[in-house]
A and B are shown apart, each in its own frame.
Chain A
Amino acid sequence: MVDLNTVSPKDPAKRYYLALGLEGSANKLGVGIIKHPFLPETGAAAKDNSHDCHVEILANIRDTYVTPPGEGFLPRDTARHHRNWCVRLIKRALLEAGVRDACAELDVICFTRGPGMGAPLHSVALVARTCSLMWQVPLVGVNHCVGHIEMGREITKAKNPVVLYVSGGNTQVIAYSDHRYRIFGETLDVAVGNCLDRFARTLKIPNAPSPGYNIEQLASQCKNKETLVELPYTVKGMDLSMSGILAYIDSLAKDLFRGNKANKVLFDKKTGNTKVTVEDLCYSLQENLFAMLVEITERAMAHVNADQVLIVGGVGSNARLQEMMALMCHDRARGRVHATDERFCIDNGVMIAQAGLLQYRMGNYVKDLSETVVTQKFRTDEVYVSWRN
């Protein structure tokens, strides 16, 4: 039994909660404002309704720090971007949501405490602390991954799915058990999004709207889908490793650009003609990486006997990954795959507000500002999930 109404709304007469969410753990700065109606059925008599809060999204604004092709984003520059934009975004979000008096109307301010890049996280945390003190609104520090999971559950209404969390900084297969989102399998080195980003950098393709999206487009243009470029397949039990794959495909791309005819994977031995295009490389990379992701997800499903999968994180908006996951789920248990669209897959402030508001409603918010120090490493299973059975 979980009572989501342990804390009453700021103005009991209004019968709803309002939360501001601030996200800035990587190159995206997001500000979101959400509303949870005060529902009697989520109160003491309720079972587990944390996936169905009837959330209303009043504002969801994002600004991405985009770097030129071939370049990644550095912590310092990203932090500067967030500092420059954070206040402006909050102002716009408040305006869009029709919040005129933040002090009187907001129940809670939620911000990303980690994991992510230290300097950008810190910039946003400063703003969150300042707003909290000047408006006298409580703060909640949110785990970024839990934010993705809770937003995904709320949007898709998936009650207890196995979660595949795939983004630039994370690759994890997660299942809920006993008040924790437990990590079943994860990457042992680079994250899948990072792997795609870095390959995009080698290919010198644009970073806008996102490197992964551009790789997906190139992959779909592949003309020779029957033949794959053979890449290492590195599933290690429940975990996977991607650094070897990245190093290898990077070297192929470089040989291709250089016209290194000695490489017989790329060039015909006799004629010297190219056998493989950039599109082929993108296609093969996707097929290989995603097969690995789906496989470890299936392992977790078999283990916990689940029939639903929820894909969250930036890479989750990839249509091919969603298609593969759907096939697996169908064949496995006539199960379903849930994926959110790019508004929610990609880092945003709404998801931080959603997870933070759930936590707040359970009475768990910052009592001392020393609890708001950001942390680059913050494991998903460190969070005590009080809002679920």
Chain B
Amino acid sequence: MTTKTARPAALDHTLTLNVPFETPRQALIASQVLQPDPILKPQDFAVSYAAQGPCLEARFCGRDARVLRVGVSSVIDSLKTIIESLDELDQTGPSSTEASM
């Protein structure tokens, strides 16, 4: 039970973002890219990603509003990079091959 008391009351500030992508594949890639990075302070902040169809669902929870805001904004920065990569570089990938066929 010590874990419960050591863990502050709750990460009760939550936010869920639904980010639409062009295809389910892109949403899946985004979730896989974001997944591996560890959270620096898991006792203060947590995030989980799931691809649901063409949407990426990101669930955040933080111990207070500030922590939540900082965490969410850094994930959004990362997302922008991923989306730019998908938008700009995916043409050279399978889709362009398919298109040319």
Query: Are both chains from one complex?
Result: yes
Residues of A whose CB lies within 8 Å of any CB of B are 80, 83, 86-88, 90-91, 94, 99-104, 122-123, 126-127, 129-131, 133-136, 369-370, 372-373
Complexed CA–CA distance, A372 and B36 (Å): 8
A40 CB to closest chain B CB (Å) equals: 31
Chain A residue nearest in CB terms to B94 = A103
Chain B residue numbers with a CB within 8 Å of A94 are 92
- Find the B residue at minimum CB distance from A369: B36
Contact B35 A369 (CB under 8 A): yes
A373→B35 CA distance, assembly (Å): 10
The residue of chain A having its C-beta at the shortest distance from the C-beta of B92 within the complex is A102
- Residue from A101, A104, A122, A130 having most chain B Cβ neighbours under 10 A: A130
The answer to whether A134 touches B97, judged by C-beta atoms less than 8 angstroms apart, is no
A-B contact pairs, 15 of them (CB 8 A): A87-B85, A88-B88, A103-B97, A122-B37, A123-B78, A126-B81, A126-B82, A129-B33, A130-B29, A133-B33, A134-B90, A134-B94, A135-B92, A369-B32, A369-B36
B residues apposed to A, CB below 8 Å: 26, 29-30, 32-33, 35-38, 77-78, 80-82, 84-86, 88-90, 92-94, 96-97
Contact between A130 and B85 (Cβ–Cβ < 8 Å)? yes
- The answer to whether A91 touches B88, judged by C-beta atoms less than 8 angstroms apart, is yes
User: B52 to chain A: closest CB distance in Å?
Assistant: 18
Evaluate contact between A134 and B89: CB separation under 8 angstroms: yes
Q: Which residues of A contact B29 (CB under 8 A)?
A: 130, 133-134
**Chain B residues positioned under 8 Å from A83 (CB to CB):** 77, 80-81
CB contacts (< 8 Å) of B80 on chain A: these are 83
Given contacts A102-B93, A130-B29, contact A87 B88 (CB under 8 A): yes
Could you tell me if A130 and B93 are in contact, using CB atoms closer than 8 angstroms? Answer: no
Q: Which residues of B contact A122 (CB under 8 A)?
A: 37, 78
Given contacts A91-B89, A130-B85, A131-B85, are A373 and B36 in contact (CB under 8 A)?
Answer: yes
Contact B97 A87 (CB under 8 A): no
Known contacts A87-B85, A87-B89, A91-B89: does B32 contact A101 (CB below 8 Å)?
A: no
Q: Is the CB of A127 within 8 A of B37?
A: no
B88:A135 contact, CB within 8 angstroms: no
Q: Which A residues touch B82, using CB under 8 A?
A: 126-127, 130
Q: Which residues of B contact A87 (CB under 8 A)?
A: 81, 84-85, 88-89
CB contact under 8 A between A130 and B86, given known A86-B81, A122-B37: yes
Q: Name 18 extra pairs, CB < 8 A, besides A83-B81, A134-B93.
A: A87-B84, A91-B89, A99-B92, A101-B92, A101-B96, A103-B97, A126-B33, A126-B78, A129-B36, A130-B30, A130-B85, A131-B89, A133-B33, A134-B86, A134-B89, A136-B94, A369-B36, A373-B37
CB neighbours (8 Å) of B88 from chain A are: 87-88, 91
Majority SS at the chain A contact face: helix
List chain B residues, Cβ under 8 A from A136. 94
Distance in angstroms from A126 CB to nearest chain B CB is: 5
State the CA gap A84–B97 with chains docked (Å): 27
Q: With A and B bound together, what is the CA distance between A122 and B93 in angstroms?
A: 23
Residues of chain A within 8 A (CB-CB) of B89 are: 87, 90-91, 102, 130-131, 134-135
B96 close to A127 (CB less than 8 A): no
Which residue of chain B has its CB nearest to the CB of A370?
B36
The CA of A100 and the CA of B35, in the complex, are separated in Å by 29
B38 to chain A: which residues have CB within 8 Å? 373
The answer for the CA separation of A372 and B80 in the assembled complex, in Å, is 19
Chain B residues whose CB sits within 8 angstroms of the CB of A80 once the complex forms: 77
- Expressed in whole angstroms, the Cα–Cα distance for A41 and B49 within the complex equals 47
Question: What CA separation (Å) do A211 and B27 show in the bound complex?
Answer: 43
Closest 5 CB pairs of A and B: A130-B85, A129-B33, A133-B29, A102-B92, A103-B93
- Nearest opposing residue in chain A for B87, CB measure: A87
- With contacts A134-B29, A369-B36 taken as known, whether A127 is within 8 angstroms of B81 at the C-beta atoms is yes
State the Cβ distance, B75 to closest chain A Cβ, in Å. Answer: 11
- CB nearest neighbor in B for A91: B88
